[in-house]
Amino acid sequence: MYTQRQTRIQNILDAVVIIALLALYGCGNPPNNPHGDADRRVNYYYDTFMAPPKHLDPVRSYSSDEAVFVCQVYEPPLQFHFLKRPYELQPLTAVHMPAISTRTVEGTSCAVYEITIEPGILYQPHPCFARNEQGELIYHDLDDRDTDGFVQISDFKKTGTRELVAADYVLQLKRMADPRLNCPILSTMAKYILGLDRFHADLREQLDGVRAARRRAAGLFYNQTEDEKQNPILLDYALVDLLGVEVVDRYTYRIIIKGRYPQIKYWLAMPFFAPMPHEVLSFYGQAALIERGITLDRFPVGTGAYYIETYLPHEEIILARNPNYRRELYPHEGEPEDMARGLLRDAGKQLPFIDKAVYVYESEYITAWNKFLQGYYDTSGIDSDSFDQAVVMTEQGVALTDSLKDRGIGLITAPTASIMYFGFNMRDDVVGGLNEKKCKLRRAISIAIDIEEYLDIFSNGRGIPAHGLIPPGIFGYFDGRTGMNPYVYDWDARQQRSVRKSIKEARRLLAEAGYPNGIGPDGHQLTISFDNMLTGSSYAPYINWMIKQFRKLNINLEVNTTDYNRFQDKIDSGNFQFFNWGWNADYPDPENFMFLLYGPNARHGRGVGNNTGYVSRKFDRLFRRMETMENTPERLKIIRQIQATLQHDAPLYFGYFPVAYSLYHDWYYNAKPNLMGRNNLKYKRIEGDLRARLRSEWNQPVIWPVMLFGLLAVLACVPAVIMVWKRGRRP
């Protein structure tokens, strides 16, 4: 029988245990759910990001991990159709595709792109637009006291909005030239947008003038960074004319291009050409906000389907539905097989479907992968380490493993608009040059590098061997025998596919190049240096594999591994012989690949893009003809000629086109890869109830091993306790 004191102690202990279990397990939520109880059955999308974004300012952001966020918030005038392939541009905020005319400006023939935007498009609710009853902006004269303790944009109590106007697009174009913003495409756009280079120089002069005056006033202890944090410089873009942009009326603006540049239409689908309201610049230009890290680079402002609700780049980033988003509908048409895939089920419905997208920072792939299998992330890529767990190769091709199929997980694959290639230094005495012997040397090496084997060993087969520069899905890609590189492959008529030439053929070419059996005219073995940035022990197998490829020709491959910056230095100075690299397309046009070998872009001459230093009059002539053409049969013919030239000259060994594999759960709808357009979140749909049910089913806790361990631990203490008791009783 318990005493009153014992009963009280027992009750307290029971309460402690119950509270601990409730704290751990919540109320019916699986205890291993990292998202908390509030997410059950809600219409949220969960995903990960592996690196905190550097920039969310659309004029600075250029990497694909930033595009995940930027492209949901900002809306340029055009977008890529979600379903149609090949990729097709369509209006986004524009009423129709740009109207193109010509004009002569200062003796230069120019193309004029006139864009009319839809009336009535509103920005997301944001404090920069908040006004008082008198109509005055209330947060544009802030000091430290007003923002004390603020860390997020949601700390501001009031918000407002306004209509999108054409002048906002023009302002953003001008921002591209702001020297402080380091716009990555400024040098490209300055070649084409009339007056942009002069505008940039004028802004630089304005900026330098302000800084010089401040330096003179401050004296010896002037610190530019600290001074501009406390007294930001607001450049007046209106002080200088930019000839290449015009505001026609409230909803219409023009971009004036020097000469012809049809690829500008692709750039018009990128966030660089998104609108920027002047209220945003004056709001974020305040010292009180800059001090707190509340900047445009972290808290974007747009008209997109989503806005950034929470920005904690080392924890999570949450996008929430923009309540002011206009009426946009799910597309009615796509590819022929989209209907069967269920991708037209939501045709005609209003976007977006998802209320919130929660992106969680995961620095390790393995933890993200396991959480995906538990159902806590809705989609996932496939790492090499988990490839065998996810995918098997069958006679029909790639298929999911049974364990993933049982969970209703789906797989989609798509060739990326990118290429991984191996390049030769065309200015090198040994491997460079355009005479036939040097071409044969490079072709011999190209045959020896068995890219099919590489894909099997190192990439789980996730790639398509490249016969030219242009990947599948982009105008100018040739499949089958038409596209085959005849210097590296033969056509097998029986199997109807290309087969790599034999190593015997490579050796023959090598001998004709002046290196019989890999021995040079001086009697020594040919040595070629392989410059790379493959630091890390995980690359050792690949490097060994490369050495073996060259050994087939009795060529000694000297591996020079350096860090990224030293590698760049070598490329810049032309101090290399052979390297490998990749290119990810900005837009789906062959020009964006061919420019990698255009002579004037040769890196060694301080150009950008042509790392091999390849200069061929024939190639350059054909490229200049092709670069501004529309996609016509004539253009295709020129591209074939260019491809044949490259295959003959072999400044690169083309390597392969990577194929992206993505997995998604059963409750995730409208999964179609769109590798050009990144504003796809608005098309996705989640079935929250199904997700909650399956998560609960898959994640029931297993408690008995812990209880068993506890019991065994207690039992193990019994002999020890007996020993203590006996010692205590010893006289």
Binding site for other proteins (CB under 8 A): 23-24, 30-34, 36, 52, 54, 62-63, 151, 179-180, 182, 184-188, 220-221, 223-226, 229, 291-293, 295, 297-298, 312-315, 360-364, 366-367, 370-371, 374, 564-565, 568, 572, 584, 586, 606, 608, 699-703, 705-706, 720, 723-724, 727-728
Asked if the peptide bond before residue 541 counts as cis, ω within 30 degrees of 0, the response is no
| Alpha carbons 527 and 482: distance in angstroms, whole number | 35
C-beta closer to other proteins: residue 293 or 600 = 293
The secondary structure of 137-160 as a DSSP string is: BSSSS--TTTTTT--SGGGSS--B
C-beta closer to other proteins: residue 6 or 224 = 224
- The dihedrals phi and psi of 698, each to the nearest 5 degrees, come to -80, -15
Strands 578-584, 527-532: pairing is parallel
CB of residue 728 to other proteins, shortest distance in Å: 6
C-beta closer to other proteins: residue 65 or 328 = 65
**In this structure, which amino acid lies at residue 521?**
P
C-beta closer to other proteins: residue 521 or 731 = 731
Q: Helices (DSSP H) in 219-273: which residue ranges?
A: 224-230, 264-267
C-beta closer to other proteins: residue 312 or 540 = 312
Beta strands in 556-642 (DSSP E): 556-561, 578-584
CB of residue 200 to other proteins, shortest distance in Å: 10
| Alpha carbons 136 and 156: distance in angstroms, whole number | 16
CB of residue 220 to other proteins, shortest distance in Å: 5
C-beta closer to other proteins: residue 62 or 515 = 62
Sheet holding 108-116, edge to edge: 99-105, 108-116, 252-258, 245-249
C-beta closer to other proteins: residue 156 or 372 = 372
**In this structure, which amino acid lies at residue 18?**
I
CB of residue 675 to other proteins, shortest distance in Å: 16
C-beta closer to other proteins: residue 373 or 557 = 373
Tokens describing residue 461:
């087969």
| Alpha carbons 680 and 666: distance in angstroms, whole number | 18
CB of residue 26 to other proteins, shortest distance in Å: 8
Tokens describing residue 588:
């789906």
Nearest to 407 by CA among 684, 664, 673, 43: 664
CB of residue 367 to other proteins, shortest distance in Å: 4
Structural element, H or E, at residue 568:
helix 564-573
Do residues 82 and 677 lie in contact, with contact meaning Cβ atoms separated by under 8 Å?
A: yes
CB of residue 51 to other proteins, shortest distance in Å: 8
C-beta closer to other proteins: residue 7 or 64 = 64
| Alpha carbons 450 and 99: distance in angstroms, whole number | 48
> Which long-range contacts (C-beta less than 8 Å, at least 24 apart) are formed by 410-413?
410/663, 410/664, 410/665, 410/666, 410/671, 411/661, 411/662, 411/663, 412/661, 412/662, 412/664, 412/671, 412/672, 412/673, 413/659, 413/660, 413/661, 413/662
C-beta closer to other proteins: residue 119 or 701 = 701
C-beta closer to other proteins: residue 188 or 498 = 188
CB of residue 195 to other proteins, shortest distance in Å: 18
**Angle at the Cα of 467 (from 464 to 470), degrees rounded to 5?**
80
- The dihedrals phi and psi of 216, each to the nearest 5 degrees, come to -65, -40
CB of residue 63 to other proteins, shortest distance in Å: 6
C-beta closer to other proteins: residue 4 or 538 = 538
CB of residue 658 to other proteins, shortest distance in Å: 16
CB of residue 224 to other proteins, shortest distance in Å: 6
Beta strands in 457-591 (DSSP E): 463-465, 489-492, 497-500, 527-532, 556-561, 578-584
Cα 702 to the center of its chain, rounded Å: 39
CB of residue 450 to other proteins, shortest distance in Å: 27
**Angle at the Cα of 50 (from 48 to 51), degrees rounded to 5?**
125
C-beta closer to other proteins: residue 28 or 705 = 705
Tokens describing residue 60:
């600075």
Tokens describing residue 187:
């040098």
CB of residue 261 to other proteins, shortest distance in Å: 16
C-beta closer to other proteins: residue 10 or 223 = 223
- The dihedrals phi and psi of 81, each to the nearest 5 degrees, come to -60, 135
- Give me the residues paired with residue 245 across strands: 255
SS3 string, 331-352, reads: CCCCCHHHCCCCCCCCCCCECC
CB of residue 453 to other proteins, shortest distance in Å: 27
